[in-house]
């Protein structure tokens, strides 16, 4: 049985097929592909976009959603995660979508369930559907010609599962990646790295991907203040001026820290388009995993 734990779980040609299917789903019309199916969502970390996106995708495909409310579940009575998921699995859902603060949880659980597990974000490790929707947004914008496009990823890259998944996926699709972050947010990597912005980086970028500072994953505060960070790394008008590029952010955006109010309104900023695209991509992923699953 196939699960979706990291972007590596799908080949390049499978991803292009998912994009073709997702393009059809952008019409936002209801479908019946998953009629009679049931999907369980279990989120141990907060979420606005990802949870509602998966649940909208499920409903648009004609399936039902069973959402486990973690704060009211028996996990708070000392039940192990394994037992919680084994019990949910015994109710025979057609897929379980899980988010957890610890890296590796979805992979471990996938070994004990009878249905596909979809990782909706695990710690700093991976957020595969977010990377797919980001690439889908880039792919649509550039009419499929993404090879060689220059992307600048900026922010708390080291602690971001969105960055980790995008770096794997965008490298595979031959985008040219540059990382911009202060030293404490920079991962160990052989990619091109800059510790501050310069005009050249912007001049050479087709895409900027801004990321939120993952304060919930910091054991200790390694920077003076978010305002200091913003002075150097916030995407604002005097930085990008009128350069032709697109700006992505997975949300939640910390306004005037990650992106200025002015640039949030700019037509180059595709944050809400990413949200729309996210539902279509998740529909394509759910359809593929569930209909291909022969048990
Ligand atoms: C991201 C996440 O949860 O990893 N958000 C999302 O899923 N859209 C990014 C973040 O929280 O900064």
Give CA 285 to chain center in angstroms: 13
Give the count of alpha carbons within 13 A of 34, CB side only.
30
Per-residue pLDDT of the chain (295 residues; tens, 9 = 90+): 999 999 999 999 999 999 999 999 999 999 999 999 999 999 999 898 999 999 999 999 999 999 998 877 777 788 888 998 899 999 999 999 999 999 999 999 999 999 999 999 999 999 999 999 999 999 999 999 999 999 999 999 999 999 999 999 999 999 999 999 999 999 999 999 999 999 999 999 999 999 999 989 888 777 778 889 999 999 999 999 999 999 999 999 999 999 999 999 999 999 999 999 999 999 999 999 999 986 5
Structural element, H or E, at residue 238 = helix 237-240
User: What per-residue confidence (pLDDT) applies to 44?
Assistant: 94
Residues 161, 127: contact at Cβ < 8 Å? yes
pLDDT at 74: 77
Q: Which residues line ligand 1 (CB under 6 A)?
A: 49-50, 121, 127, 130, 161-162, 212, 250-251
**Residue 36 Cα, ligand 1 centroid: separation in angstroms?**
30
- Indicate the pTM of the whole model: 0.97
Q: How far is CA 95 from the centre of its chain?
A: 18
Q: Which of 57, 43, 109 is closest to 82 using CA atoms?
A: 109
Using the atom order of ligand 1, give the atom closest to the CA of residue 50.
7
Query: Which pLDDT value is given to residue 295?
Result: 57
Question: For the chain, what is the radius of gyration of the CA atoms?
Answer: 19
Distances (CA, A) of 118 to 40, 99, 214: 10, 9, 22
Residue whose tokens read 């648009």: 60
User: Which of 121, 153, 158 to mutate for ligand 1's pocket (most ligand atoms within 8 Å of CB)?
Assistant: 121
**Hey, which of 54, 250, 253 would you mutate to test ligand 1's pocket, going by the most ligand atoms within 8 Å of its Cβ?**
250
With beta carbons less than 8 A apart as the criterion, state whether 7 and 132 touch.
yes
Report the separation in Å between the CA atom of 294 and the middle of ligand 1, taken as the mean of its atom positions: 32
How far, in Å, is the centroid of ligand 1 from the Cα of 295?
31
**Ligand 1 atom closest to Cα of residue 99:** 3
């Amino acid at each position: 049985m196939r699960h979706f734990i990291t972007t590596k779980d799908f080949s390049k040609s499978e991803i292009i097929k998912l994009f073709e299917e997702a393009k059809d789903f952008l019409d936002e019309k209801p479908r019946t592909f998953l009629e009679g199916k049931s999907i369980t969502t279990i989120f141990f970390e907060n979420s606005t976009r990802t949870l509602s996106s998966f649940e909208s995708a499920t409903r648009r495909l004609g399936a039902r959603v069973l959402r486990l409310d973690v704060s009211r579940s028996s996990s708070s009575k000392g039940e192990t995660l394994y037992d919680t998921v084994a019990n949910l699995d015994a109710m025979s859902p057609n897929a379980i979508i899980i988010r957890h603060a610890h890296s590796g949880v979805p992979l471990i659980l996938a070994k004990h369930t009878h249905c596909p597990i979809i990782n909706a974000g695990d710690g700093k490790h991976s957020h595969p559907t977010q990377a797919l929707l980001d690439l889908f947004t880039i792919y649509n914008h550039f009419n499929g010609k993404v090879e060689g496009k220059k992307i600048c990823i900026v922010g708390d890259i080291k602690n971001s599962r969105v960055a980790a998944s995008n770096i794997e996926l965008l490298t595979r699709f031959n985008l040219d990646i540059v990382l911009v972050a202060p030293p404490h947010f920079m991962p160990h990597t052989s990619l091109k790295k800059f510790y501050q912005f310069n005009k050249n980086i912007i001049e050479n970028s087709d895409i900027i991907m801004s990321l939120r500072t993952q304060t919930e994953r910091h054991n200790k505060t390694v920077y003076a203040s978010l305002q200091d960070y913003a002075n150097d790394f916030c995407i604002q008008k005097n930085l990008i001026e009128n350069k032709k590029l697109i700006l992505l952010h997975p949300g939640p955006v910390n306004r005037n820290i990650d992106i200025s109010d002015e640039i949030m309104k700019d037509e180059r900023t595709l944050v809400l388009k990413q949200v729309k695209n996210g539902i279509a991509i998740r529909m394509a992923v759910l359809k593929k995993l569930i209909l291909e699953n022969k048990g």
